[in-house]
A and B are shown apart, each in its own frame.
Chain A
Amino acid sequence: MTEMDLTPRGPADPAASAPRAKRKWMPILVLALVLVAGGVIVTQFLTSAVDYYCNVDEIGVRDGCNSERRIRLQGTVDENSIEKVGNATVFTISFNGETIPVEYDGAPGGIFKECIPVVVHGVIEDGTLQGDRVEVRHSDEYVSVNDERITDAEAVGCSSA
């Protein structure tokens, strides 16, 4: 009986082998990118995502909430506190009975308004938070724009600050 020869052919056909090689390397390349992306995400998680902000009443009290360093501060925008001064927007935010004035160069985006929680990024200078970014924190409440509870809900939002 003739012995079977299952060794590969001598001269490989480049046209036939090209797609096979591509298929082999592509997942390895994707995996390498996944590892890099995963490393970046975990680093960001450890440096930024854990305890994303300090509350206003934690300045100088809680670890990582020192007034000497750059800070992300969370509080509710006080009623009747928003003013436009030139290009800047000036307002105060409060949390748990503590209040701090904020000066932001520009107009905050999102759904910024009174009685809504915000996170302001910046540094504290002379007791004022000089913000360079304002992010609005939306609550877990979803109320119809026509709902008669609007007045009550807004009142609760400001009074709970």
Chain B
Amino acid sequence: MTTIDKAPTVQSQRAGTGTRGTRILGTLTIVSMVWLIAFGLGFSPADRDQQEAVRIMYVHVPTIWIAYLAFVVTAVASGFYLFKKSLGWDRLAGASAEVGTVFVALTLIVGALWGRLTWGVFWQWDARLTTTALLFVTYVGYLAVRRLGGTHEQRARRSAVIGLLAVLLIPLVHWSVRLWRSLHQEATVLDPDGDIDMDGLMLFSLFVGVIAFTLFYVWLMLHRTRVMAMEDMMEDRGLDEALASRRREAAMPDSEEN
């Protein structure tokens, strides 16, 4: 009896970057995002001064905090790469930087919307906004450097150095409102004096936002790291195949070329 084995094709089509762990993480992310929508848009009150515009804070603040976290992960993974020389650390650094850069972009966009509603302007070259823009541009540069070409090891080495240097911008961004006079307000939750001047339900909604975006970050980073591993494998396979092809050609008799 003839059998048609379709299993490998179906298997390969279904092969992806998901695992049981990421699926659970993805489900938790969706649940926490629903919570964030419920608290951010529903249960939490309007602000005395900002009115409904305060709800932008539940995206604006978590995204920049998680971006800081992402860039710290990039720096730590870069350091580990330089010590261990394992490309896994490099891919982790790259994936984390990509997610962090997207989150900074999101921070800048929603911050501009909040600024228009509260300050009356979308953008102003004050200390916080300017240093945040510099942080964004620096990590766009980091991501561009990762794509300059060369071997995986060359990519990992040069980006690790930049990843370790770029993270030094984070304290500058965070403390810019204290170091210089800024249009942007000072920190409320991370106030060095420890005095959190925020309504309880607003603070809880912000906490839900931090949880939701942290889960989202980890989920994105895990998938992206695995996609990067696949890309590296494909590049390696392409190189191996090219070399094998050239070897086959070199081994061919001259008559076959005519």
Are A and B part of the same complex? yes
Report if B202 contacts A (CB, 8 A): yes
The answer to whether A133 touches B121 (Cβ under 8 A) is yes
Quick one: which of B33-70 are within 8 Å of A by CB?
45-51, 53-54, 57
The answer to whether A4 touches B247 (Cβ under 8 A) is yes
Q: How far is the CA of A4 from the CA of B244 in the complex (A)?
A: 11
**Chain A proximity of B205: nearest CB distance (Å):** 10
| Residues of chain B at interface, number, CB under 8 A | 57
Contacts of B187 in A (CB 8 A): 140
**Chain A proximity of B94: nearest CB distance (Å):** 13
Of B118, B124, B130, B180, which is within 8 A of A138 by CB? B118
Quick one: which of B117-174 are within 8 Å of A by CB?
117-121, 124-127, 129-131, 133-134, 137-138, 140-141, 143-149
Q: How far is the CA of A53 from the CA of B81 in the complex (A)?
A: 44
The answer to whether A2 touches B250 (Cβ under 8 A) is yes
The answer to whether A147 touches B48 (Cβ under 8 A) is yes
Contacts of A41 in B (CB 8 A): 130, 133-134, 137
Contacts of A150 in B (CB 8 A): 48
Q: How far is the CA of A137 from the CA of B124 in the complex (A)?
A: 12
The answer to whether B197 touches A27 (Cβ under 8 A) is no
Of A6, A28, A112, which is within 8 A of B148 by CB? A28
The answer to whether B46 touches A144 (Cβ under 8 A) is yes
**Chain A proximity of B147: nearest CB distance (Å):** 4
Contacts of A68 in B (CB 8 A): none
**Chain A proximity of B180: nearest CB distance (Å):** 5
Contacts of A38 in B (CB 8 A): 134, 137-138, 141
Report if A96 contacts B (CB, 8 A): no
Report if A101 contacts B (CB, 8 A): no
Report if B201 contacts A (CB, 8 A): yes
**Chain A proximity of B100: nearest CB distance (Å):** 16
Q: How far is the CA of A135 from the CA of B145 in the complex (A)?
A: 38
Of A27, A37, A51, which is within 8 A of B181 by CB? A51
The answer to whether B126 touches A49 (Cβ under 8 A) is yes
The answer to whether A45 touches B124 (Cβ under 8 A) is no
CB contact under 8 A between A49 and B49, given known A5-B246, A142-B54: no
Contacts of A145 in B (CB 8 A): 45-48, 51
CB contact under 8 A between A52 and B182, given known A27-B147, A145-B48, A153-B48: yes
Q: How far is the CA of A96 from the CA of B147 in the complex (A)?
A: 54
Contacts of A50 in B (CB 8 A): 127, 180
Of B120, B130, B149, B247, which is within 8 A of A49 by CB? B130
Q: How far is the CA of A143 from the CA of B250 in the complex (A)?
A: 77
Report if B17 contacts A (CB, 8 A): no
Q: How far is the CA of A161 from the CA of B246 in the complex (A)?
A: 79
Contacts of A116 in B (CB 8 A): 49
Q: How far is the CA of A134 from the CA of B124 in the complex (A)?
A: 12
Report if A24 contacts B (CB, 8 A): yes
Report if B230 contacts A (CB, 8 A): no
The answer to whether B140 touches A138 (Cβ under 8 A) is no
Contacts of A146 in B (CB 8 A): 45
The answer to whether A138 touches B119 (Cβ under 8 A) is yes
The answer to whether A143 touches B47 (Cβ under 8 A) is yes
Q: How far is the CA of A72 from the CA of B225 in the complex (A)?
A: 47
Instruction: Select from chain B the residue with minimum beta-carbon distance to A44.
Output: B125
Of B54, B120, B131, which is within 8 A of A135 by CB? B120
**Chain B proximity of A22: nearest CB distance (Å):** 11
Question: Of the 9-residue stretches A76-84, A103-111, A122-130, which lies at the interface with chain B?
Answer: A103-111
Q: How far is the CA of A53 from the CA of B126 in the complex (A)?
A: 9
**Chain A proximity of B193: nearest CB distance (Å):** 10
Question: What are 25 residue pairs bridging A and B, where the CB atoms are less than 8 Å apart in the complex?
Answer: A4-B247, A4-B250, A6-B250, A27-B147, A28-B144, A30-B141, A31-B148, A45-B130, A48-B125, A48-B126, A49-B127, A109-B116, A110-B116, A110-B119, A110-B121, A111-B50, A112-B120, A113-B49, A134-B120, A135-B120, A142-B197, A142-B198, A143-B48, A145-B48, A147-B48
